[in-house]
Amino acid sequence: MAASRWDFDLSHSSINFWARHMMVSKVHGRFGRWSGALELDEQDPSLSRVEVQIDAASIETKEQKRDEHLSSADFLEVAKHPHLTFKSTAVTREGEQRFKVVGELTIRGISRPVTLDVEYAGRAKDPWGGERAGFSARTSINRKDFGLTWNMALEAGGFVVGDKVEIDIEVEAVKAKPVEAEAPSARAEARG
C-alpha cells in the first residue's frame, strides 16, 4: 500500500510555543497562518514525510508590541525571512502510537536538525464522508541556534528572555480523496 496524502485542517490544528520571561513566567504564543503536506505510510512509517511552511508574520503572543518586536530584526526578521519551514528527513516508530520525526527546521535562514516526539491519536470518519487523523508533537529548541540572540540582562541576574523555546503542535488532518484518472473520451475531446 502506497503512502496516502493528508491535508491539514487548520481550523482544528495549531502550532504553539512558549519561552521563559524574566526567569519567572512563561510567555505563550502561536503562529496563525501555516500550510504543509503530510504523506502517511501506515505499513512502513519510515516512508512517511511531512513538510510545513509557517508565515512568520502571523506570530501572536496577545501583546501587539511584543509581536512587533518578535517580527523585527532582533528576532525573526520577517521582512527578510517571511517563512519558517520544517521538512522531515526520517520517521521511526517508537511504540504503538508514538513516533520520532527528525527533520530540518529553518528559522531566519538558518537550518538545524530537530526531533519531534509525535503521538498518533487515531483516526475517525467525519459526518461528511471524510477520514480524519490526529497527531500531537513536541520538541524544544535553543533560539540562539537560529540566530535569535537578542536579550537584556536583569538587575538581579538572569535575562529577560529564556534561550529554550518549547514547541507544541496539534494536528487534525483529512485524508485526501484519490484523483480519478480522466476518461479517454474526455482527453480526446480536450484535444479537439
Q: Are 78 and 71 in contact (CB under 8 A)?
A: yes
Which residues have CB under 8 Å from 79's CB, separation 6+? 73
Q: Are 24 and 167 in contact (CB under 8 A)?
A: no
For 76, phi and psi rounded to 5 degrees? -75, -20
List of domains in the chain: 4-191 (2.40.128.110)
* Whole-prediction pTM: 0.84
Which residues have CB under 8 Å from 153's CB, separation 6+? 159, 160
| pLDDT on residue 155 | 62
For 189, phi and psi rounded to 5 degrees? -65, -40
Which residues have CB under 8 Å from 62's CB, separation 6+? 28, 29
At 31, list the grid cell.
Answer: 503562529
Higher-confidence residue of 78 and 187: namely: 78
The amino acid at 73: A
At 54, list the grid cell.
Answer: 509557517
| pLDDT on residue 178 | 72
pLDDT in tens, 13-45: 999 999 887 666 788 999 999 999 899 988 888
Residue 85, SS3 per DSSP: strand
